[in-house]
C-alpha cells in the first residue's frame, strides 16, 4: 500500500461524506487532481530511496488526472450526491471562472473555444492500468467499477479523442494569456496585525 501515499491521506467514510457535503453546498467549488505520476521503479520514481525507505523519502502523491472526471461522475452524479449541472461546474466552469478564462473556456457558447466532452452517462467501465493513458505504471483505482465515461472530446472544435483513440499531435496546445482576476486580488486580511504590504503593525 506504500504506492498510495499521498496528502491528504484518504480518511474515514464520515470524512468523505463531510467533503461531499461541502461540495454539494458549494464550499468546495472545484474537484481536480494534482496528478503525481511517479513510476514505481524509475530512478526518480515513487521509491527512489529504495524499498525500505522511511515515509519522508517516498515520493508523495498518486496519479489521478485521467480518472478524475469518471470517478467524480460516478461518486457524485450516479450516487445522487450532486446533479449534472454541479458536475459540469465542478470539473470545468468553476475552474475557468477561478482563473479568469471564462467564457473563452468553461462554457458552450458562441465565441468560446468549443472544448467539449461528449459524456456516456451509462457506460460501465472497470478502471485498470491497461486502459489508461497517463504515462505512469499504475493507478490507485485499479479494479474500481464506475458508471460514466468520456466518449468523444473536442479541443477548439476538433475531435482529439474518440472512444479511446487519441488523435492529437504535439503542438496542438495553445498558450492562453490571461489578465489578473478577482480571486487573486488582495483582500487586506492577514493572520497577524502585521501588514506585509505597508510594513506596519495595524491595530
Please report where in the chains the cell 470545468 appears, as a residue: 92
Whole-number pLDDT of residue 77: 98
Helix (H, G, I), strand (E, B) or coil at 154: strand
What the chain holds in terms of domains, given with CATH numbers, is 2-167+174-201 (3.20.20.140)
How far is the C-alpha of 185 from the C-alpha of 192, rounded, in Å? 19
Angstrom CA distances, 152 to 71, 159, 167, stand at 17, 7, 11
Whole-number pLDDT of residue 149: 97
Whole-number pLDDT of residue 20: 94
Mean residue pLDDT across the chain? 89
pTM equals: 0.84
Separation of first and last alpha carbons in the chain: 50
Q: Do 77 and 87 meet the contact criterion of CB atoms below 8 Å apart? A: yes
**pLDDT tens across 126-162, in order?**
999 999 988 899 999 999 999 999 999 999 999 999 9
How far is the C-alpha of 169 from the C-alpha of 9, rounded, in Å? 36
Residues in the chain predicted with pLDDT less than 70, given as ranges, are: 1, 183-185
Amino acid at each position: 500500500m506504500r504506492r498510495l501515499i499521498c496528502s491528504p491521506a484518504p480518511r474515514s467514510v464520515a470524512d468523505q461524506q463531510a467533503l461531499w457535503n461541502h461540495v454539494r453546498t458549494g464550499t468546495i467549488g472545484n474537484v481536480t487532481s494534482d496528478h503525481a505520476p511517479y513510476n514505481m521503479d524509475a530512478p526518480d520514481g515513487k521509491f527512489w530511496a529504495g524499498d525500505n525507505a522511511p515515509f519522508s523519502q517516498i515520493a508523495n502523491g498518486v496519479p489521478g488526472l485521467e480518472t478524475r472526471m469518471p470517478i467524480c461522475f460516478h461518486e457524485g452524479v450516479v450516487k445522487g450526491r450532486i446533479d449534472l449541472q454541479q458536475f459540469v461546474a465542478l470539473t470545468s466552469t468553476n475552474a475557468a471562472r477561478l482563473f479568469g478564462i471564462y467564457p473563452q473556456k468553461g462554457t458552450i457558447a458562441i465565441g468560446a473555444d468549443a472544448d467539449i466532452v461528449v459524456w456516456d452517462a451509462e457506460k460501465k467501465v472497470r478502471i485498470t492500468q491497461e486502459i489508461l493513458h497517463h504515462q505512469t505504471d499504475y493507478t490507485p483505482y485499479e479494479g474500481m467499477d464506475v458508471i460514466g465515461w468520456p466518449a468523444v472530446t473536442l479541443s477548439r472544435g476538433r475531435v482529439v479523442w474518440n472512444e479511446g483513440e487519441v488523435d492529437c499531435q504535439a503542438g496542438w496546445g495553445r498558450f492562453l494569456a490571461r489578465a489578473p482576476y478577482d480571486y487573486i486580488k488582495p483582500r487586506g486580511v492577514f493572520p497577524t496585525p502585521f501588514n506585509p504590504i505597508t510594513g506596519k503593525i495595524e491595530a
